[in-house]
Structure 1
Amino acid sequence: MLDLGSIDRSDDRPPYRQIADILREHIRQGQLPPGEQLPSEAELIEYYGVARMTVREAIRELRGEGLVVAMHGKGVFVRSAPPVRRLASDRFARRHRKEGKAAFLAEAETAGHTPSVDQIRVTNEMVSPEVAERLKITRRDRVIVRSRRYLADGQPVEVATSYIPEKIAKGTPIAEVDTGPGGIYARIEDAGHQLAHFTEEVSARMPTPEERKVLDIGAGIPVMTLVRTAYDTDDVPVEVCDTVKVARAYVLEYDVPAM
């Protein structure tokens, strides 16, 4: 068995926390790589000379952090980390749309991952107060709502919901499941709204039970929320996109000029 050090009875930290700290450090250093099975409960009990509950508390702490996953009847394994994708400021550059690539496709390919999208749902709905305010439309206006899940190398990394004013999207591929090459933004520009700039609001929180299920993540794994508003050259909001991202799957990178 891997050398897992020892616990210090004089340490202020309880034994279960010391064990969790040791295992966590081995995971972070790659000595327990993704997919690797942790020593069994019985092995850890014998190795550290502690009670069964102490070992279970240590494993529970690691599971809560999303570092390990228990497979019934098989044991506890180091969770495979999702692919990390760096989101650069130019991910919405027009050149990507001219190449027929939506933002996610361009981002994932740049990072060396294979992108895919599923669970696509398109509806025509009444606008919510928050979205109406962002789009500068009235509560009586309707929007085309596009929700979908994005995957990198087959692993869920985000879910996104876009709201596009009906007057822009109705009768266009935006209202269809397949928007065509270049995605939503290419179709918005086809409709005569050349994109000029975007605003983004980023925050972090713990996921809802439904988000955990859709993104296939543990209870202890946080998510980032990114709400983006797209504007055309007349400074008219043309889309609001509400995205929930697996926090450890992304690095957000912004190039901010010093004015």
Structure 2
Amino acid sequence: MPDTRPAHLRIAADLRAQIMAGTLTPGQKLPSTSQLIARYSAANATIQAAVGVLKDEGFLRSEHGIGVFVRDRHVFSIDPAAYYDPATRGVTYKMLDVREVEPPADVAAALGEKRAALRHRRTDRSGEAVELSWSYYPMTLAAGTPLTGRAKIPGGAPRVLADLGYPELSFSDRVTSRMPTTEEVEGLDVPPNVPVLRQFRTVYSHDRRPVEVSVIVKPAHLYELNYERDIPSE
């Protein structure tokens, strides 16, 4: 199937792949515009547009009068086994909304209930918005608890659920990729044409009772998935 994307997006994709593969290394000067024009048989405006895309995504930076260089970007690794450790990684949270809702159909199906307490927040790392999350708790558990209030909860939702006799014991994650909504573009400052990762997490307590479902959205250009496990012998 032919690649029908505009030429500047095809060129940006090729350069991005080289940066992510380490062929173009942090601090390395990008080939000159004339060299890129020759390499890709493209017009100057097309090359400038491609470079602009990668600057917006944080892969490249300009030094006036010197050239364009590959940035030393830190890609956040998503370990599906855990959230961030805010004590050591400079992570802060901003509560955006707390209310009782009828959750989306997929969340309601996972919770097994039609009413839930929603806690919607934004995660910042070193002052940069890196994640939006919508966490839902079944109202049969959340009613009358701190989960329905806007105040910061010491120990977070896990402590509240544990105090109720429903400690978080296991979870399952489903991760998909899609283009961002307007809310996600504006809330996370997602560059044009960059998808987001959507992490759908169901948390279970005793007897596999669902006690939390979280929908977590992250800009795809900032993250990589990291899975590790032993391979059983035959």
Gaps of 5+ in 1: 1-13, 71-75, 92-102
Counterpart residue number, 1:56: 45
User: Which of the numbers 175, 192, 196 marks the counterpart of 1:219?
Assistant: 192
Counterpart residue number, 2:4: none
**2 CA distance for matches of 1:190 and 1:134?**
22
Contact 2:37 2:47 in 1 (8 A): no
Counterpart residue number, 2:225: 251
**1 CA distance for matches of 2:48 and 2:17?**
10
Distance of aligned partners of 1:59 and 1:256 in 2 relative to their CA distance in 1, 3 Å threshold: farther
Distance of aligned partners of 1:124 and 1:213 in 2 relative to their CA distance in 1, 3 Å threshold: same
**What letter corresponds to residue 253 of structure 1 in structure 2?**
Y
Distance of aligned partners of 1:134 and 1:254 in 2 relative to their CA distance in 1, 3 Å threshold: farther
**1 CA distance for matches of 2:77 and 2:153?**
24
RMSD: 3.9
Write the deviation string for residues 82-137 of structure 1: whole angstroms up to 9, x where unpaired. Answer: 55244252x2xxxxxxxxxxx43x2x55xx53111124310111233322211112
Identity of aligned residues (%): 26
**1 CA distance for matches of 2:36 and 2:201?**
51
Counterpart residue number, 1:84: 76
**1 CA distance for matches of 2:227 and 2:187?**
25
Counterpart residue number, 2:26: 30
Distance of aligned partners of 1:79 and 1:31 in 2 relative to their CA distance in 1, 3 Å threshold: closer
Q: Give the SS at the match of 2:162.
A: helix
Q: Give the SS at the match of 2:194.
A: coil
1:77 is displaced (CA, Å) by 8.7
Counterpart residue number, 2:107: 131
Contact 2:98 2:120 in 1 (8 A): yes
**2 CA distance for matches of 1:46 and 1:243?**
41
User: Which of the numbers 92, 98, 110 marks the counterpart of 1:122?
Assistant: 98
Q: Give the SS at the match of 2:27.
A: coil
**2 CA distance for matches of 1:24 and 1:79?**
14
Q: Give the SS at the match of 1:241.
A: strand
Aligned pairs for 1:160-199 within 5 A? 160-199=133-172
**Pairs aligned (count):** 214
Contact 1:63 1:220 in 2 (8 A): no
In the superposition, the TM-score normalised over structure 2's length comes to 0.72
**2 CA distance for matches of 1:256 and 1:169?**
38
Aligned pairs for 1:1-20 within 5 A? none
Distance of aligned partners of 1:15 and 1:126 in 2 relative to their CA distance in 1, 3 Å threshold: closer
Gaps of 5+ in 2: 1-6, 63-67
1:250 is displaced (CA, Å) by 3.9
Q: Give the SS at the match of 2:50.
A: helix
Distance of aligned partners of 1:182 and 1:32 in 2 relative to their CA distance in 1, 3 Å threshold: farther
**2 CA distance for matches of 1:216 and 1:173?**
31
Write the deviation string for residues 43-66 of structure 1: whole angstroms up to 9, x where unpaired. Answer: 9479969xxx92221232244453
Write the deviation string for residues 200-252 of structure 1: whole angstroms up to 9, x where unpaired. Answer: 11111222232121111201322211101111112111111001112233433
Contact 2:110 2:213 in 1 (8 A): yes
Larger Rg: 1
**1 CA distance for matches of 2:90 and 2:45?**
37
Distance of aligned partners of 1:120 and 1:206 in 2 relative to their CA distance in 1, 3 Å threshold: same
